[in-house]
Amino acid sequence: MNLVLGFVPFILFDVLMRVSVDLALWAAFAAAFTLAMRSFLDTRVLKMLDGGNIALFGLLALYKGFVQPGLGYGAVLLAVDGGLLVIAVASLLLHEPFTLQYAREQVAPEQWSAPGFRRANYVVTGVWTAALAVMTSADVAAMLVSAVTVTEAMLAGLVALAFALTFSLRYPAHLAR
């Protein structure tokens, strides 16, 4: 369930975006910073997702606030979803799936090097990466295809996220059986 905490800034952004994009970005940045520092003080490790969230929301909040205040709702949504996709893909390319840091908090250190443990994290990170790719693709479609609205893109993204979250919660139990 600790993995869900890594997505709290994104969830907060999604909820507050309907009120104000600027508020949503700054609140997500504040949440990302707070969660990352809380985790860092406990573990002395900055998780990839936490660091990525700080950079993503912080840079976007600054850019939208000071460089491009007129940046549209759809463009900001695409930047957030695309940014999260980049974090997930980078974690796979660096052979350090972002879910691994959360999973290590749940198991004994002796299990960390087990091939099944690493494989399971590649699978779970792969599912999250696929969900983020669906979200980013839906955002692109909303920007390029007039028949697709930003609301529809967000709905497609929420369905993809719900699948990834459900899979993440059920897959470890499936492996344990």
Kindly tell me if the per-residue pLDDT of 51 is higher than 90: yes
For residue 117, give the 3-state DSSP assignment.
helix
Task: State how many domains the chain has.
Answer: 1
% of the chain at pLDDT higher than 70: 99
* pLDDT of res. 64: 98
Q: Which of 71, 56, 55 shows the shortest CA–CA distance to 22?
A: 71
pTM here is: 0.92
* pLDDT of res. 18: 87
Q: Which helix (H) or strand (E) element contains residue 39? A: helix 21-43
Cβ neighbours, 10 Å, residue 97: 24
**173 or 122, greater pLDDT:** 122
**79 or 1, greater pLDDT:** 79
Q: Write the pLDDT tens digit of every residue in 73-115.
A: 889 999 999 999 999 999 999 999 999 999 998 889 999 989 8
* pLDDT of res. 177: 75
- Domain limits for position 67: 2-176
